[in-house]
Amino acid sequence: MNLRRHNRLQRPPWLPSEMAVAPQLDPSAVPGPMRRRYALLINPFYRKDPNASFGKHVLTPTLALTATAAATPEHWELRYWDENLLQGPPPLEPFPEVVGITVHLTFADRAYELARWYRRWGAKVVLGGLHVLTAPAEAAEHADAIAIGEGVQLWPRILGDVDAGKLEPVYRGDYRKPYRDDPMPRRDLLPRDGFLTTSSVIATRGCHNRCGFCYLSTADLHMPYRLRDVEQVVAEIREDGQPYAVFIDNNLGSKPEYLRTLCQALRPLDIIWSAALTIDVTDDPTLVRDMALAGCTGVFVGFESLNLDNLADAGKRTPVPEDYARRVQILHDHGIQVNGSFVLGFDHDGPDVFEKTVEWIEANRLECATLHLLTPYPETPLFRQLEEQHRIVHRDWRLYDTAHVVFEPALMTAEELHAGYQWCYRRLFSQRSIWRRRPRDWRAAVPYFAMSYLYKRSNRIWHLLIRYRLTAHMWRPLIELSRRRHLKFRRRLAGRAVTGQPGTVVSAGV
Ligand code: B12
Ligand code: SF4
């Protein structure tokens, strides 16, 4: 194998085409007349990594467009289309006056293709999202207007200018404005059966860290840590009425006292929820206990690496990896499942990193693990470092999806890195590994096995579940089972003393 082969978009023979190829845009289609003051918002198709779970893509929707949609002026009509829900290409009827598209690195080419399609017949195309922020000049070539920053601030201005016939090419927002005045995201636009839960919620923006590989360290992204009023967050969850909410914050635990207040406000809702955070949340076991008592049943933890030198290179302030196991145990003791996120391919990773990582995941019974190949997002310190070292292999952004090797690793070949990544997923999705990682509490085992099979071993049927809107029907009985079990667990936990020792935070690399 050589690096070139890895850099092609490969497609295993069993992979359903819907998960690999965007729906075709009919070149001969002729739309009807344009409907004035009608806007269409599109989340473009992206190719799914066949090594990882397809279920992950319908757990919860992105907030990018539902948040933006909420700021639409009342006299505008609106429709939302997510191409990843496998209902075909976005509609031409009625033909929209404005098309808003969210753009990420990995699906920028699809976003531009859609933009060309709609612009052909005179729709005004507005592009926004993370990739527009990092590559405004590139995005501007495909749009009538680009939105750099928060859509909630910019969208009403943009539509107002369309109304007035004076659309500008560039609109700039500011991440420093408070979120207090933001309207509630328009979750009513989402197909409720299309996702495990429509309650993706954001309570904070930014992170106390600035790891060199993270998109938060992108050169022009000034995203200070921002908090929303807990009452606002709770009101949103209540309004959506789902039994399970997912916090999509980069790091919900950056301000522990805020998290504690949020937990107190969430407790009376009797819902279950999960969130992404760093392992230093276990510095204070009483906080973990408050999370559990508030309904937290799962955390997505960015461990990144088990090698301290890698963490130091990335400039991540974190507890030492030797202490990770004890900290995972604190979460488990509180009935909180752990989805560990690991990055493979750092400069201190040799060919033994795969087995070591997987062994550790299994030994510590992490219920789930997400693996990423180190990916230098444009304009991050990592990108600049690898560029200076002439180690960036290409700039085909479609392959910057953390499932392809796009740079030359230091201690192994690109082929070894890619093969090791695939091996890790094969092993972690195996029956043996699922069994080894089962929770010690037998009461948690039934939902664990059911969820593991659906999440890790059903890639051959996920396209059918998604296309026929069965996602919610498959997941929700399991969610309800977990919620009821958790309510009982909470009652027992409330009568129990706090477990776990306070941790020692050491600073790696900063
Ligand atoms: C939810 C989520 C997902 C969901 C849904 C993704 C989707 N596109 O449908 C799932 C779980 C499926 C997912 C999968 C992946 N994700 Co993801 N995901 C997120 C997450 C946690 C939240 C996104 C979100 O809702 N943000 C909140 C909204 C409000 O912010 P926003 O997107 O910036 O939108 C605002 C503005 O940008 C602007 N805006 C955005 N679009 C538009 C459009 C218009 C017209 C206008 C006017 C304005 C506008 O207004 C919005 C509201 O103010 C982010 C991390 C984060 N916390 O942001 C990662 C993140 C976006 N994902 C990331 C990655 C890498 C992936 C994967 C590739 C990982 C993998 N290997 O599987 C996959 C593949 C998906 C893909 N190619 O995008 C990276 C992207 C890095 C980059 N530089 O592009 C992020 C930043 C995580 C990270 N820390 O690195 N993801
Ligand atoms: S801790 Fe996570 S979210 Fe925060 S900067 Fe590092 S990688 Fe990004």
Beta-ladder partners of 296: 273
Contact 316, 280 (CB under 8 A): no
State residue 506's pLDDT score.
34
State residue 222's pLDDT score.
79
Residue with the two structure tokens 């936990």: 493
Instruction: State in Å: Cα 103 to ligand 1 middle.
Output: 9
Q: Hey, is 417 helix, strand or coil? A: helix
Residue with the two structure tokens 């990882």: 52
Q: What distance lies between CA 510 and its chain's CA centroid?
A: 26
State residue 498's pLDDT score.
63
Helix, strand, coil fractions of the chain, as percent rounded to 5: 40, 15, 40
Instruction: State in Å: Cα 275 to ligand 2 middle.
Output: 14
CA-to-CA separations, 238 to 199, 241, 244, 267, in angstroms, rounded:
10, 5, 11, 12
Task: Note the helical H segments in 58-150.
Answer: 64-69, 108-120, 130-134, 136-140
Determine the number of helices (DSSP H) and then strands (DSSP E) in the chain.
Answer: 19, 14
Residue nearest to atom 2 of ligand 2 (CA): 302
Beta-ladder partners of 128: 102, 147
Residue with the two structure tokens 């304009």: 379
- Angstrom distance (rounded) from CA 192 to CA 438: 30
Selection from 150, 146, 215 nearest residue 185 by Cα: 150
- Angstrom distance (rounded) from CA 224 to CA 205: 7
Residues of the chain predicted below pLDDT 50:
1-5, 501-510
Residue 95 DSSP one-character state: E
Q: For residue 461, what are its two tokens? A: 């049927």
Q: From edge to edge, which strands make up the β-sheet containing 368-373?
A: 200-201, 244-247, 272-277, 296-304, 337-344, 368-373
Instruction: State in Å: Cα 213 to ligand 2 middle.
Output: 8
Residue nearest to atom 7 of ligand 2 (CA): 214
CA-to-CA separations, 395 to 9, 212, 377, in angstroms, rounded:
14, 19, 10
Selection from 369, 383, 362 nearest residue 435 by Cα: 362
Among all bound ligands, the one having the nearest atom to the CA of 302 is 2
Residue nearest to atom 3 of ligand 2 (CA): 250
Classify residue 31 by burial, with Cβ atoms within 10 Å: 0-12, 13-18, 19+: middle
Long-range Cβ contacts of 412-415 (<8 Å, 24+ apart):
412/349, 412/350, 412/351, 413/3, 414/3, 414/6, 415/1, 415/2, 415/3, 415/6
Stretch (H or E) spanning 172:
strand 170-172
State residue 175's pLDDT score.
77
Stretch (H or E) spanning 146:
strand 145-148
User: Mind listing the pLDDT tens digit for each residue in 345-371?
Assistant: 999 999 999 999 999 999 999 999 999
Residue with the two structure tokens 């939302």: 80
Q: How many C-beta neighbours within 10 Å does residue 26 have?
A: 10
- Angstrom distance (rounded) from CA 246 to CA 202: 8
Does the pTM surpass 0.75? The reply is: yes
User: Which domains, and CATH codes, for the chain?
Assistant: 3-172 (3.40.50.2300), 191-494 (3.80.30.20)
Cis bond upstream, residue 94 (ω within 30): yes
Ligand 1 site, CB within 6 A? 43, 46, 49, 52, 56-57, 62-64, 67-68, 84, 100-102, 104-107, 126, 128-130, 147, 150-152, 154-155, 202, 214-215, 248-250, 372, 377, 401-403
CA-to-CA separations, 226 to 175, 176, 218, 254, 313, in angstroms, rounded:
9, 8, 17, 10, 26
Instruction: State in Å: Cα 273 to ligand 2 middle.
Output: 20
User: Mind listing the pLDDT tens digit for each residue in 384-415?
Assistant: 999 999 999 999 999 999 999 999 999 999 99
Contact 419, 373 (CB under 8 A): no
State residue 508's pLDDT score.
36
Residue nearest to atom 65 of ligand 1 (CA): 401
